Chains A and B, each alone.
Chain A
Amino acid sequence: MAPISWHSVDLTLDECIKCNICTSHCPVSAVTDLFPGPKYVGPQAQRFRESGQPRSPDHSVDYCSGCRVCNEVCPTGVRIAELNARARAQIVAEKGLPLRNRLLGRNELLGKLGSLAPALANFGLHNSFSRLVAEKVMGIARKAPLPTWSTSGTFRDWLKRTRDRRLKSNKKVVYFHGCATMYYEPFIGKAAVVVLEHNGYEVIVPEQNCCGLPLLSNGEFDAARNYHRNNVGRLAGYARAGLPIVGTSTSCTLTLKEEAPELLDYHDEPATTLKLGTYDIFEWLRELYEVGELRTDFQPLPLKLPYHAPCQQRAHRIGKPALELMALIPELELAESHARCCGIAGTYGYKVEKYQIAMDVGAELFEFVKAQGQDVRYTACDSETCRWQLEHGTALPSRHPIEILAAAYGLYDLERREVVAGKR
């Protein structure tokens, strides 16, 4: 492929040969006419857009969920999802943004606020009256699977509390936990820490921001740029020193690696260093395994486990390392989902006008899980919002593969989502 001097994703529209493969795979246009499909809103519409037009020519791009299935199947390399994200940002820049989207874009702020009084916040958010009000006033779907704040403190609280028990080692790894682990699901972070420590690594958890993805997907590029600048400032130094930065949220790591630099045209040296030093945690563990350095002292885990690699994970284009490593666990019977998307797509399915679309998109996945039989106790998925959607759609608890790995190491109670007492 001849190199192109312009690095903007916009120019990939030129790769499109109109072949319709993306439209045939798009999970959203499959269930609603409100989204005319990736080819149409992406490379096709892009030729009709320019900045400073009298008015934004199109609006249906708002119904792109950003799941990136189109990018995955495109045989010619059009960055359709990114084209759409940038087009949406253009609309936001022109027309402004509803409060609802501003709120959904700021999960870090929400996380922080709720964590001040999590029980109260959970009650405030999760009673049917306030959900009704949220739907009517703000357009946040009443039934959408919103998370609950951790009532046992944040992830950082736990780190502080267990400071003395944390492993010190000359082998070090940096952990990017993301907002969900920090405020809603600290147990994911705990599982990651014990797995990394079990393999002899000291885990460094620097101060960090939200990765900015919710802002990017809601079209607030300026705010996202601030977040990314902060993260680059705080983390690039570690990457420069050769320390891997691993994350359990596939969407956060994708944002640090690719989405923020590409969408924001943010390609300076520190940002690129951070990009090249960031790993999905299983991507990194697989590298350990390939050089024979991953501990494989797994205990049998006699479970039937449907695993769904979420869209944000697949967008890394690294294969399915979580699946490969979980396959090493004795007696664990994995069933790989080939469903395109769970539907939630970050904050897409929270919006009242998109809730049903998200559920219809997810039906393929829910049916796959159902087809695995009655004896399935958990599902597994790497992304937080997808797990919440999976739980909402299947009524089965869902686990991050790192929890599965931690449990197989005997370090973690999969049911209670706690690090096993006495273990590190």
Chain B
Amino acid sequence: MKRMSTDVLVIGGGSTGAGVAWDAALRGLRVILVEKRDLTHGTTGRYHGLLHSGGRYAVKDPQSAIECIEENRILRRTHAHCIEDTGGFFVVTPEDEGDYPDRFKAACAKVGIPCEEIPLKEAFRREPLLNPRISRVFEVPDGSADSFLATHVTAQAARQAGAQILIYHEVIDLLTEGSDGDRRVVGARVCDVVHGEEVRIDAAITVNAGGAWAGKIAAMAGVPVNVIPGKGVMVAVNHRLVNTVINRCKMPADGDILVPVHTVAIIGTTDERVSDPEMLTIEPWEVDLMLREGDKLVPGLSRSRILRAWAGVRPLYQEGYTGESRDATRALALLDHRQRDGVSGFLTITGGKWTTFRLMAEKTVDKVCEQLGVERPCLTATTPVPGAEQGHYWLGHRLHEVEEARLQGDLICECELVTRAMVEQAVANNPTVTLDDLRRDVRLGMGPCQGGFCTFRAAGILHQLRLHAQEAPPQTEVDGGLPWNVAYLQSPRHSVQAKPAALNPKVSPLDNPNLLLRDFLQERWRGLTPVLWGRQLKQERLNELIYLTIMNVDHLPEDGEASPLTEFWRFDAVAGAKEDGR
């Protein structure tokens, strides 16, 4: 068995885990991060993309609100290019009666959130599709965030500071020493799921940043952590109906927020307590509820083209709490298991929200340092991640760069303007095992046609790259030797200028393009079925024509093989079988 050792082992490649790795590495600690799939595969990659101003929590949860506005200001500097400065409106619809708006305004003032009531005329000029019956509008510094990119660049920053990031490494067991009352977590046994190899990692401190999966991980050390998995359903509309984040000015509830992220607008969310974080089935009523509530913000939203729906699971945590997940606190929770359970060398960080991931990391690493007996200040609040010098994201930037560099002929994903060079750079610069990994890197397949054209193209390109790498393996040593540069993943222009990195033949041993194709088609299908009607169904029928009539991909050779994504479609098939049996 391969054996590694480190000061800090971080479990979980979401925003929090990447943040912890970054923070700890900046403080000079040796860090290994393990993630069972791709970075942001869990909840971080399945949220609506809101950079909170804190307004949402100002009335209900002032502590969370203060954390949000402070972190909002910090992330705008450190992760500038992962954020679009959309601004946000809190709007009062005819259904939002009562004194909440005035309490909201007062609460914002109290916790220090800039909040200004703006004339309706001005609001409708900026957002002409808003419900004309809206009676008051407050403006706050909300934004939208690319959580895929932010987490990838945070991981890159961690790596540059010396951390090792191991994706597709799943924790099989936590290693403990000692007996009850004086137990200690000393690391973990992990499985490299791509190569099927086990690795033992010895660690002075293990940080459980497993998000919705944190309870399962803690259980491996015999520690009960009652994470409340709150499922949230989100629905994306084909284009940006609004360019400002729109919040209902009322106590947080289902379907009360509309976020413009990249080329889409996302309406969210529900909050449903579920038993299993893997259980992400979307029911028709949940989609219908989102559309109905969306119509209250932008009338007609329900009739526009719906792109896709998905669900994420919030890792809510409240000690001893058994109620509804909507009412559980959004505050972060750092559990010191030495204090709490008598198990030392083990911390769990959970709760919170994307906007506060850096703060969560800071508090966690403070505790790590305390337990390791070192005194080093946190640097993340003042250290920009790679690429931040590009400034804030703006909607037109890809189109602008494609136009300037005249890259129209090289577009692979035409909906989201992903060029061939972007695909090649993304594959070369960080491990890519499935096309879904590539989607998170460059937004491949995230537009209206949902992979109709680009799935085939990407599979073809990856296959060619793999062949090339096998014929001429790179000279450099594998681990750490290859560049990990994801700071410019979103930039078509940069991809052209950058020297293409050599592909590491060992990082991505999945050589079966047919599985890449099939798994990605199925992955897209999962998010489509809840919203397939009208125009999106027409699109899907064209995709069927492409993949059945033209490609015949349901009759490719080697159909029986599995990839790390296959579990999802197996899961779908099983869920469907259950449904059929009912």
Contact = CB atoms under 8 A, between A and B. Distances in A.
**Contact flag (A, B; Cβ within 8 A):** yes
Of B397, B414, B535, most buried by chain A (CB within 10 Å of CB) is B535
B270 interface: no
Given A6-B300, A17-B538, A58-B403, A48 B414 contact: no
Given A13-B239, A18-B452, A40-B414, A53 B303 contact: no
Given A17-B542, A47-B239, A53 B305 contact: no
A55 B400 contact: yes
Interface residues of A, number: 36
B448 A57 contact: no
Interface residues of B, number: 36
A48 B263 CA distance: 6
B305 A18 contact: no
Given A18-B448, A57-B403, A58-B400, A50 B304 contact: no
Contacts of B406: 33
B399 A58 contact: yes
B394 interface: yes
B483 interface: no
Contacts of A59: 403
Nearest to A40: B408
Nearest to B86: A50
B348 interface: no
Interface string B116-135: 00000000001001000000
A57 B408 contact: no
Contacts of B394: 53-54
B462 interface: no
Contacts of A56: 396
Contact of B534 (A2, A11, A16): A2
Contacts of B129: 6
A52 B86 CA distance: 11
A76 interface: yes
Contacts of B239: 13-14, 46-47
Nearest to B392: A54
A37 B411 CA distance: 13
Nearest to B396: A57
A47 B403 contact: no
A44 B415 contact: yes
B448 A5 contact: no
B303 A58 contact: no
Contact of B240 (A16, A17, A50, A76): A50
B487 to A, nearest CB: 21
A281 to B, nearest CB: 37
A18 B400 contact: no
Interface in B304-333: 304-305
A76 B238 CA distance: 16
B398 A48 contact: yes
Contact of B535 (A15, A37, A57): A15
A130 interface: no
B539 A53 contact: no
Contacts of B305: 14-15
A128 B59 CA distance: 75
Contacts of A19: 542
A5 B300 contact: yes
Contacts of A5: 299-300, 303
B442 interface: no
B396 A2 contact: no
Nearest to B447: A47
B453 interface: yes
A63 B239 CA distance: 24
A47 B396 contact: no
A55 B396 contact: yes
B172 to A, nearest CB: 43
Interface string B212-252: 00000000000000000000000000111001000000000
Interface in B522-553: 534-535, 538-539, 542
A299 interface: no
A153 interface: no
A60 B395 contact: no
Interface string A45-78: 1111111111111111000000000000000100
Given A6-B300, A17-B538, 5 more contacts: A6-B129, A14-B238, A14-B239, A56-B396, A59-B403
Interface of A: 2-6, 11, 13-19, 33, 36-37, 39-40, 44-60, 76
5 contacts: A14-B304, A18-B542, A50-B395, A54-B396, A55-B400
List the 6 shortest-distance A-B pairs measured between CB atoms, nearest first: A57-B396, A14-B305, A48-B399, A57-B399, A36-B408, A57-B400
